[in-house]
Chains A and B, each alone.
Chain A
Amino acid sequence: MDIGAQLLQAGNLMLTGMVGVFVFLSILIFAMRLLANFAAQFKEVAPSTTRSKTTRATSSQGVPQAHIAAISAAVAAYRKNY
Chain B
Amino acid sequence: MEGLLNLWQATGLANFTVPALCMMAVGCGLLYLAIAKGFEPLLLVPIGFGAILTNIPVAGLADPGGLLYYVYYIGIDSGVFPLLIFMGVGAMTDFSALIANPKMLLLGAAAQFGIFATLFGAILLNYIPGFEFTLQDASAIAIIGGADGPTAIFLASKLAPELLGAIAVAAYSYMALVPIIQPPIMKALTTQEERQIAMPQLRHVSKTEKILFPLAVLGLTILFLPAATPLVGMFCLGNLMKECGVVDRLSKTAQNELINITTIFLGLAVGSKLAADQFLTVETLGILALGAVAFGIGTATGVLMAKTMNKFSDTPINPLVGAAGVSAVPMAARVVNKVGLESNPHNFLLMHAMGPNVAGVLGSAVAAGILLALVG
Q: Which residues of A contact B (CB under 8 A)?
A: 3, 6-7, 9-11, 13-14, 16-18, 20-22, 24-29, 31-33, 35-36, 38-39, 42-43
- Tell whether, in the assembled complex, residue B123 and residue A10 are in contact, meaning their CB atoms are under 8 Å apart: yes
Determine whether the beta carbon of A42 is less than 8 Å from that of B206.
Answer: yes
Give 27 pairs: A residue, B residue, CB < 8 Å, sorted on A: A6-B123, A10-B138, A13-B371, A13-B374, A16-B370, A17-B112, A17-B370, A18-B116, A20-B370, A21-B366, A21-B367, A24-B224, A24-B225, A24-B366, A25-B362, A25-B363, A25-B366, A28-B105, A28-B217, A28-B220, A32-B99, A35-B213, A35-B216, A36-B209, A39-B208, A39-B209, A39-B212
Closest residue of chain B to A27 (Cβ to Cβ) is: B220
Give Cα distance in the complex from A3 to B366, angstroms.
Answer: 27
Known: A3-B126, A28-B217, A31-B216. A20 touches B119 (CB 8 A): no
Check: B117 CB closer than 8 A to any chain A CB: yes
Closest chain A residue, CB of each to CB of B224: A24
Complex alpha-carbon distance, A68 and B374, angstroms: 68
Q: A16-B374, A25-B105 are in contact. List 9 more A-B contacts (CB 8 A).
A: A6-B123, A10-B120, A10-B122, A13-B374, A17-B115, A17-B374, A20-B225, A21-B112, A32-B105
- How many angstroms from the CA of A26 to the CA of B309 in the assembled complex? 14
**A21 and B212 within 8 A (CB):** no
- Contact at B109–A36, with CB atoms within 8 Å? no
Are A29 and B102 in contact, with the CB atoms below 8 A? yes
B375 contacts A by Cβ under 8 Å: yes
B contact residues, total (Cβ < 8 Å): 41
Contact A29 B220 (CB under 8 A): no
A81–B297 alpha-carbon span in the complex (Å): 74
Q: How far is the CA of A36 from the CA of B205 in the complex (A)?
A: 9
**Binary interface encoding of chain B residues 92-107 relative to chain A, with 1 for a CB under 8 A from any of its CBs, else 0:** 0000000100110110
Whether B123 and A7, one on each chain, are in contact in the complex, defined by CB atoms closer than 8 angstroms, is yes
Determine if B106 and A22 form an interchain contact, defined as CB atoms under 8 angstroms apart: yes
- Give, as a whole number of angstroms, the nearest-CB distance from A16 to chain B: 7
B363 touches A21 (CB 8 A): yes
Q: Is the CB of B366 within 8 A of A20?
A: yes
Q: Would you give the shortest CB distance from A68 to chain B, in whole angstroms?
A: 30
| B127 interface contact, C-beta 8 A | yes
